[in-house]
Chains A and B, each alone.
Chain A
């Protein structure tokens, strides 16, 4: 298979657009609610998920002819859990503050439906290079969505935009610091957006807008 053929391009770009794991497949919603409070957390989480998704897809695709089908789910889970533990250890060593904030959520990548879903739906049936591209595409699609959601949640919920920087994060923009007149005019952050229900509202709006643009309609 050509790495840059139309087909491989489609595998990567589909999940970004018409087959997005979060907004259209509606997979991985649980973590989309948890790690979208701040942009920097969403970005780090994206890298972690892309890494785990690509490597688990490749590993499972390489082993696909050898995995006994009766225990395939257990094997997939073991591989995914091993990779996630690996990411967790690396974060603890090099991005300590970030790992403190993400702590449970990194562990929860194991139960992120996208990873298991792609392993079972794609990797086990395709070759390693296609599986890798599928992992990359779905990881990017997931990341794009959670970064988008976290952008709105952080901007309107906490009034800041934070980029990853060592751990504590670098405050790129802060309404309180940069747009003083707005605060003086009585502007207040929407506290609801910081809580989990806030993510549901934003996610719902994003899904609506995307379906409207893609011209998708609910099947009768």
Chain B
């Protein structure tokens, strides 16, 4: 039987050794991990804006950056629709910062092809982060993609799956009066014969809380951009 002193000493040494090893590893890999994270967010933006990678040839981090730099213009606006200069978009806290709103424009040959807006909000367990993209009419959804969430795999986690995100494509976020009403995630299937079907998508069975969360934060976040979106509608890109 070892003495108490020895036991404490041994535990202390093990802790220090393991702690040192882990922090050295983390420090060395940090840059690479941050690169991956940034590329992943940019990839989400590209996917929402209807860029698609070939199945056999997934994008590398460099490829994502190349496409991003060539066709995406990022800018920051406030809730009144005015442009704010000199802001590093990556540093904006998408969930909490409601005064600085990032916007990503897909511009090809000087023509606006889509607008990607960040959306974030609570699901059941976690905050979901994603991008919703609107077509040039600023009403039709071009795509929606989530890049971070902690929902249950197979239930709320289905938000990142194609079957769910594909449902959003072609839906409208504005009502007849032109007011932004968002997209409602239903409980169950959309009844296409109903008039509202164009503002609704199929829900995820077993994940009502996540579905409701998505409905609520989509509407809230899109509302914040209303002033800016109306501005582009009237005056073109500012």
Let me know if B32 is at the binding interface, CB within 8 A.
Answer: yes
Which residues, 149 to 202 on A, are CB-close (under 8 Å) to B? Answer: 165-168, 170-171, 195
- Interface pair A71/B18, CB less than 8 Å apart: no
A216 at the interface (CB under 8 A from B): no
When chains A and B are docked, how far (Å) is the Cα of A85 from the Cα of B37?
18
Q: Report if B109 contacts A (CB, 8 A).
A: no
From the candidates B14, B36, B154, name the one contacting A78 in the complex (CB within 8 A).
Answer: B14
| Cβ contact within 8 Å between A71 and B7 | yes
Give A113 to B58 CA distance when docked, in angstroms.
35
A215 interface residue per 8 A CB criterion: no
Q: Which residues of chain B are near A96, meaning CB under 8 Å? A: 33, 36-37, 39-40
Binds A, one of B20-28, B67-75, B96-104: B20-28
Whether B22 contacts A79 by the Cβ 8 Å rule is no
CB atoms of B11 and A75 under 8 A apart:
yes
Could you tell me if B7 and A92 are in contact, using CB atoms closer than 8 angstroms? no
Q: Is the CB of A195 within 8 A of B26?
A: no
CA distance A68 to B26 in the complex (A): 30
Does the CB pair A71–B40 fall under 8 Å?
no
Q: Is B2 touching A82 in the complex (CB atoms < 8 A)?
A: no
Binary contact track A59-91/B, C-beta < 8 Å → 1, others 0:
000000011111100110011001001100110
Please state if A89 and B26 are interface contacts (CB–CB under 8 Å). yes
The answer to whether B21 and A86 touch across the interface, beta carbons within 8 angstroms, is: yes
Complex Cα distance, B2 from A67, in Å, reads 9
By the criterion CB–CB under 8 Å, are B25 and A68 in contact?
no
Min CB–CB distance B196 → chain A (angstroms):
29
Roughly how many angstroms separate A100 CA and B153 CA in the complex, as a whole number? 12
Considering the complex, give the chain B residue whose CB is closest to the CB of A67. B10
- Residues of chain B within 8 A (CB-CB) of A168 are 58
| Contact status A92-B33, CB under 8 Å | yes
Secondary structure class of chain A's binding surface, majority of residues: helix
Question: Is A93 part of the binding interface, using a Cβ–Cβ cutoff of 8 Å?
Answer: yes
Residues of A within 8 A of B154 (CB): 195
Instruction: Flag whether B176 is at the interface (Cβ < 8 A).
Output: no
A166 to B25 alpha-carbon distance, docked (Å): 21
* A residues less than 8 Å from B32 (CB atoms): 93-94
| Residues of chain B contacted by A89 (CB below 8 angstroms) | 22, 25-26, 29, 33
Residues A114-172 near B (CB distance < 8 A): 165-168, 170-171
In the bound complex, residues from chain A placing their C-beta under 8 Å from that of B14 are: 75, 78-79
B15 at the interface (CB under 8 A from A): yes
**A93, B33: Cβ atoms closer than 8 Å:** yes
Q: Is the CB of B6 within 8 A of A82?
A: no
From A66, A85, A100, A165, B22 is in contact (CB under 8 Å) with A85
Q: Taking the nearest CB of chain A, how far is it from the CB of B16, in angstroms? A: 11
**Could you tell me if A68 and B18 are in contact, using CB atoms closer than 8 angstroms?**
no
Q: List A contacts of B26 (CB < 8 A).
A: 89
Q: Is B162 an interface residue (CB 8 A)?
A: no
Min Cβ gap B160→A in Å is 10
* A195 CA / B32 CA spacing, docked (Å): 34
Q: Would you list the 7 A-B pairs with minimal beta carbon distance, nearest first?
A: A96-B36, A82-B18, A93-B29, A68-B2, A93-B32, A68-B7, A168-B58
Q: List 18 A-B contacts (CB under 8 A).
A: A68-B6, A68-B10, A69-B1, A70-B1, A71-B11, A78-B18, A86-B25, A89-B25, A89-B33, A90-B29, A92-B33, A93-B29, A96-B40, A97-B58, A100-B40, A167-B58, A171-B55, A171-B56
Binding site for B on A (CB under 8 A): 66-71, 74-75, 78-79, 82, 85-86, 89-90, 92-94, 96-97, 100, 165-168, 170-171, 195
Task: Please give 4 more A-B residue pairs, beta carbons under 8 A apart, in addition to A70-B2, A89-B25, A92-B33.
Answer: A90-B25, A92-B36, A93-B32, A93-B33
